[in-house]
Amino acid sequence: MADMKKMDKAEVMRASGERVWQAVRDGRAVKDPSLLNRFLALIYVDLKKYTFCYWYGFPAARLPEEVTVTQPPRRLDDIFDDEWLTQLNAAYAAIDTPEKRAAFLVVPESSSGDLEIRPLEELPALIGSRFFLAFSDPSTSTTHPGWPLRNLLALVVHHWGRLVSECDVLCYRHEARHGRVQSGHSLVLSVHLGGNFVVADGKDGVPGFVGWERNAAGQLGPRSVDLSASLDPARLMENALELNLQLMRWRLAPTLDLETVASTRCLLLGAGTLGCSVARCLVSWGVRTVTFVDNSVVSYSNPARQSLYTERDCRDGGRLKCDAAADALRAVSPAVTARGENLTVPMAGHSVPDRLEIHVRADVEKLEALIAEHDAIFLLLDTREARWLPTLIAAAQRKIVINAALGFDTFLVMRHGVVGESGPDDSEKLGCYFCNDVVGPADSTRDRTLDQQCTVTRPGVGMMAGALAVELLVGLLQSPLKGRCPAFGTTRGGTGDNETEASENPLGPVPHQIRGFLARHMYMIPACMAFPMCTACSQPVLEEYTSRGWEFVLQVLNDAAYLERLTGLSRLHEETDLDQVWALSDSEESNS
């Protein structure tokens, strides 16, 4: 591109014009008028981005001021009748070589009585009779001829300027309409040639030449065109996917907001069975930004159930899941911006040794940054306690959270409530994953064998849950309230069918939870409001996290029971135990 900019455009035009003028002087252009119609093309091609930068030049001689048009242009059908036009079109089509069609002579009243086309070299023989100097005109202007006329006039003046001082020029244009060739829109000019040709601004007997094309802005400069949409395989795939999504809007859901879905940045915490299924479904909806967070490697047991991995990813100890998943997703859809983050999510109840505090703190800060730069967070982790910290951070940052968890033949897909403008104690907020628990998160892997630590589930459950998780997010994004959208089956602060929200959402009402039971092939869509003693999203927890930050997180990692004391769950347990004691005491007294 730099070489194209540095090129001396005036010198390039002069050199090309000199070749045209040489053909004029030695008479070759008289026998082959196509030599008058040279053109230049400066082209730069970016083969990686499929962009083309080009600048066309059409060398045209600068004629002296004596060469003028003596009257306004006229249409050919104002001069020729239909019979002559038909004869002209037939004679033009009968020219045996394309080169001779560049310029020719039209004699309307020949000795035979019919219109004839003659070659240029016969011009001296036609002096004193009626003829038209004609050329194939590429212009579509109704008032101006095309650039080839300049060089043709230079040729005529140079060879026969003393014989011809005035001539009629036919700018021949033809087009096919309704199966017939029509040329009545051609232009006829009356030109004063001015005698012998005088070199205009030329050197060494060569006239000056102009002809660099102007760009779209009307300035002398190159044009550019981006053909990536037609040539780039990635763009072709992106356009095909977009067309498939647009068909849904055109045919079934006119108000479907695909742009919001595509621009939603999704963070997937976990790149296992659920992570792979969710990622594939997100791509199907046109989501362009997906980030995987995981710290494990691909094992030989993974590819069968986890659709983004292959046997090759398992070799040599296995690739990092986050990187392998990102690469696979880009292979599925090159338009997706996918990346992997090798990160261990700190878990409540998993104590942190002093020597690892710096590393764990860095992981927490990295997780906070990742959640901050994304719009929707998917919790697809293996254990319950691994979901606590992302739930807390996302609640504090008011992010959309979609949670999915698997059992053997059951699954849970839910969205977390988002805190409203009134603050953390918003009574209208839906519950999170921990709002149904009356105990705090703890180390669920302790004292368990390896097989007990693995999630055992029917193969289809993960795909079902992953698909529903994405559909839940897409339905949520269609609501003007986004994360604050009330759940199907509830109204704000109460219960009942939310018919208004359902009618406004092109994908139907959005539930709070979807609980699936594959053994009975049934679903439940319960909804619950936020629990005031929740260990992840309640007001005391959010305030403690906001004020203390890392110190609070570290305390919970080392002592998960602290959450129960902070939220009042421990007091609730004590009161429950005391009630049981009194109930037992009453029973003993009655039996005595």
For 322-356, letters b (16+ CB in 10 Å) and e give bbbbbbbbbebbebbebebbebbbbbbbbebeeee
Looking at residue 307, what DSSP letter applies? T
CA dihedral 325, 328, 329, 330 (to 10 degrees): 130
Residue 338: C-alpha distances to residues 152, 326, 372, 420 (Å): 60, 5, 17, 31
User: What span, in angstroms and rounded, lies between the C-alpha atoms of 336 and 334?
Assistant: 5
Q: At what angle do helices 273-284 and 321-332 cross, to 10 degrees?
A: 20
Q: Which residues contact 138 (CB under 8 A, 6 or more apart)?
A: 146, 147, 148
Residue 172's Cβ-side half-sphere holds a number of Cα atoms within 13 Å equal to: 19
User: What span, in angstroms and rounded, lies between the C-alpha atoms of 78 and 85?
Assistant: 11
Centroid of chain to Cα 242:
9
Type of residue found at 296: S
Return the SS3 of 132: strand
Q: Is 454 a catalytic residue?
A: yes
Asked whether the beta carbons of 296 and 345 are under 8 A apart, the reply is no
* DSSP states of 10-76: HHHHHHHHHHHHHHHHTSHHHH-GGGG---EEEEEEETTTTEEEEEEEEEEE---TT-EE-S--EEG
Other CB atoms within 10 Å distance of the CB of residue 460: 11
Per-residue HEC secondary structure of 391-437 comes to HHHHHHCCCEEEEEEECCCEEEEEECCCCCCCCCCCCCCECCCCCCC
- Exactly one of 435, 454, 528, 534 is catalytic; which is it? 454
User: What span, in angstroms and rounded, lies between the C-alpha atoms of 369 and 376?
Assistant: 13
Number of H helices, E strands in the chain: 19, 23
Other CB atoms within 10 Å distance of the CB of residue 584: 10
Q: At what angle do helices 459-477 and 273-284 cross, to 10 degrees?
A: 40
Type and span of the H or E element at 212: strand 209-212
Asked whether the beta carbons of 233 and 334 are under 8 A apart, the reply is yes
Q: At what angle do helices 550-558 and 357-372 cross, to 10 degrees?
A: 120
Return the SS3 of 522: strand
Per-residue HEC secondary structure of 80-126 comes to CCHHHHHHHHHHHHCCCCHHHHCEEEEECCCCCCCCEEECHHHHHHH
User: What span, in angstroms and rounded, lies between the C-alpha atoms of 387 and 351?
Assistant: 16
Enumerate the active-site residues.
Answer: 454
